[in-house]
Homo-oligomer: A and B are copies of this chain.
Amino acid sequence: MKREELFNLMVEKKSFLCVGLDSDISKLPKHLMDCEDPVFEFNKQIIDATIDFAVAYKPNLAFYESRGAKGWQSLEKIIEYLNKTGGKIFTIADAKRGDIGNTSKLYAKSFFGNKDTSLNYDAVTVAPYMGEDSVTPFLEYKNKWVILLALTSNKGAEDFQMLESGGKKIFAHVLERSKQWGNADNMMYVVGATQADMLADIRKIVPDHFLLVPGIGAQGGSLEEAAKYGLNDQFGLIVNASRSILFASGEKDFALKAKDEAWKIQKEMKKLMKL
């Protein structure tokens, strides 16, 4: 998906919400467990219930690969289902991959599509530790996106991302170097909402790039704070909520409750977008 299409999608839906498909099988409503593929059925119903309010969906790979080949099969069905919506959805593989060049090339192939798999996302999250040649293979695909980890929402973000080198934090080095590898049309950054006050500093380094902001809801981040420091004239934000939507109810009404929760967030976003 092109940047302009993503922008138009946001205007159309008055939303910059991403629904994180962290479909923990131990938390799925019990009545679904009799389905042939409970994980697919759960995600399908979540997608149907929230698609009017969300511009993006982000399956977290760990929740699928922890079930091995079976999990990957569920995931392929979910992406096929999402892609059937006809390009109206931005899809993110939350995979946090990254390896030496020839290996990253294969990870890019894994997530951006090839004849062997029906996984065909718009974007993939990538870890920066291994540097330029671990990232650039993902940038060779037209209209596809790298979403590079910059400042994450977890406690461990303090350990290395916040170390200072030459007067700048490591995450700032990641932003500054990596923005030379791609541009605002093929790169975004992960910036945790629990670090919202740092968004202002980050916006100085990458004023035009989209930021993917996890950590709203269950992780305790504030949507208003993220919007205050993160929105730019192209919106420039994709804010993710996972557990607060997916598991708003653990009963038969789970999809209805997920819809209510997504709708509530979308209404807040509409205000913040001044649409």
Contact = CB atoms under 8 A, between A and B. Distances in A.
A195 interface: no
Contact of A128 (B110, B129, B131): B129
A190 B114 CA distance: 30
Nearest to A70: B116
Contacts of A66: 106-107, 109-110, 114, 116-117
A243 B226 CA distance: 46
A69 interface: yes
A33 interface: no
A41 B199 CA distance: 51
Contacts of A69: 69-70, 72-73, 76, 117
A76 to B, nearest CB: 6
A83 B114 CA distance: 31
| Copies of this chain, whole number | 2
A152 B129 CA distance: 9
A201 interface: no
A219 to B, nearest CB: 8
Interface in A44-81: 60, 62-63, 65-73, 76
A122 B135 CA distance: 28
Interface residues of A, number: 62
Given A68-B110, A72-B72, A130 B152 contact: yes
A143 interface: no
Interface in A89-106: 94, 96-101, 103-104, 106
B160 A129 contact: yes
A155 B116 CA distance: 30
A152 B100 CA distance: 8
Given A71-B116, A163-B166, 19 more contacts: A24-B106, A62-B99, A62-B103, A65-B65, A65-B107, A66-B116, A68-B116, A69-B73, A96-B130, A100-B219, A127-B130, A128-B159, A130-B154, A130-B156, A131-B158, A132-B159, A133-B155, A135-B156, A160-B177
